[in-house]
Amino acid sequence: MTAVEQPTATWRPGPILGIETSCDETAASVLAEDGSVLSSIIASQHAVHRRFGGVVPELASRAHIESIEDVSSEALQQSGLSWTDLTGIAVTQGPGLAGALLVGVNYAKALAYVLNIPMVGVSHLDGHIASGWLQDPAFPLPCVVLIVSGGHTHLYYKEPSGHCRLLGATRDDAAGEAFDKGAQLLGLEYPGGPAIDRLARQGNPKAIVFPRSYLKNGCLDFSFSGLKTALLYKLQAIPEQSRAAQAADIAASYQEAIVDVLVHKSFAAIRVSGARALAVVGGVSANSRLRALLQQRAASEDLRLSLPPLAYCTDNAAMIAAAGRQALRAGLRASLDIDAHASMVSPFAQAI
Ligand code: KG4
Ligand code: ZN
């Protein structure tokens, strides 16, 4: 876009609209001036991608184009506000699927231009981090943050300033990927995380011992690719006709191996950093076994724990609006020529 008139540079505090289209959820949300969530609408594309066993980027972009207008209008309608009440727009700029991101970014630009209000591009990861504070904006800092999603498994130390330092990350698969690939091997439907979570409730998590990759002593990185291979070999060793009878035990044991490592490393990060609070966010934080183990351990160590309500664990726009609100308050603005960035790093969360 060349020389166009830019929307007003100063942000007048008030309601803002968040837009999220980084992967397979088209989402819009309105936050009130005080940051409370007035509406959060999510149009999931799971039905579109299910028969392919994963997200098909071209189909995702098309589905976003079809839904973005309706989802945004519904978010506004449910908020009880009108377009002209909005004072800012936050949109996921990356990381994610380039074509999918572009739909949200271009829609946000058009709205910001027409409404003459400022816009900010938000990192999807900053959005997930912000979801840990949606329910309780006073949740304490400093804090360890574990982001566990389909694309990321990152441990951060969030300083009292709000700045995040990377403590560890996966060296291969993300935790959500381990769930999705494991579910595929087990013949479960996409997305695999919720499917394993459901099936595991009927199984024994101690039935099979899957490997836990703790890496070097004290290391806060993760590795899940060996676990997936162990599952493949385990399944190959079971005669096909016996697999269904053992599926729940296998799912529960496989889930336990992922969850054990996530809990272990989160609490190791707590020890190393000295923080007394832990926020666990991202799609995998919806996992019922992970939530239960984190709650038990936090209670026994007298530690503050933030787990987003289930609706804000997986991708949503309330978290994007919340991160955008922080950015607007910090004086950030995007110009109308911003682009989507498939591998965007967070402006707030930087590696050390
Ligand atoms: O945060 P998210 O919605 O999207 C990304 O940013 O990737 O996370 C999606 C991931 C998928 O891998 C999905 O299988 C996983 O979160 N997930 C779960 C559960 N619900 C979603 N994994 C385990 N248990 C769940 N209940
Ligand atoms: Zn996400």
Q: Which residues belong to CATH 3.30.420.40 in the chain?
A: 4-130+315-333, 141-307
Residues 282-324 pLDDT 10s: 999 999 999 999 999 999 999 999 999 999 999 999 999 999 9
pLDDT at position 1 is 40
Residue 5's pLDDT band, with cuts at 50, 70 and 90, is low
Of residues 8 and 221, which shows the higher confidence score? 221
Lowest mean pLDDT among 203-207, 215-219, 235-239, 274-278: 215-219
Distances (CA, A) of 300 to 145, 259, 289, 296, 305: 19, 18, 17, 6, 12
Q: Which ligand neighbours the alpha carbon of 284 most closely?
A: 1
Binning the chain into helix, strand and coil, the percentages to the nearest 5 are: 45, 20, 35
pLDDT at position 42 is 98
Write out residues with Cβ below 6 Å of ligand 1.
23, 149-151, 176, 179-180, 191-194, 197, 282-284, 286-287, 314-315
Burial category of 206 from C-beta neighbours within 10 Å (exposed 0-12, middle 13-18, buried 19 and up): exposed
pTM as predicted = 0.94
Q: Which fold has domain 141-307?
A: Nucleotidyltransferase; domain 5 (3.30.420)
User: Are residues 56 and 15 in contact, defined by beta-carbon separation less than 8 angstroms?
Assistant: no
Residue 43 φ/ψ, nearest 5 degrees: -105, 110
Q: Which of 164, 181, 185, 147 is nearest to 283 (CA)?
A: 147
Atom 21 of ligand 1, residue of closest alpha carbon: 283
Mean pLDDT of the chain, nearest integer: 93
pLDDT at position 51 is 86
First to last CA, the chain: 35
Q: Which fold has domain 4-130+315-333?
A: Nucleotidyltransferase; domain 5 (3.30.420)
Residue 62's pLDDT band, with cuts at 50, 70 and 90, is very high
pLDDT at position 315 is 97
Choice from 22, 125, 154, 179 to test ligand 1 binding pocket (greatest atom count within 8 A of CB): 179
Q: Which ligand neighbours the alpha carbon of 175 most closely?
A: 1
- Closest atom of ligand 1 to 149 CA is 8
pLDDT at position 6 is 63
pLDDT at 13 over 50: yes
Instruction: Indicate the pairing of strand 143-148 with strand 277-281.
Output: parallel
Tokens of 342: 């498939």
User: Are residues 130 and 319 in contact, defined by beta-carbon separation less than 8 angstroms?
Assistant: yes
- Closest atom of ligand 1 to 183 CA is 14
- Closest atom of ligand 1 to 177 CA is 12
Q: Which of 236, 241, 294, 246 is nearest to 270 (CA)?
A: 294
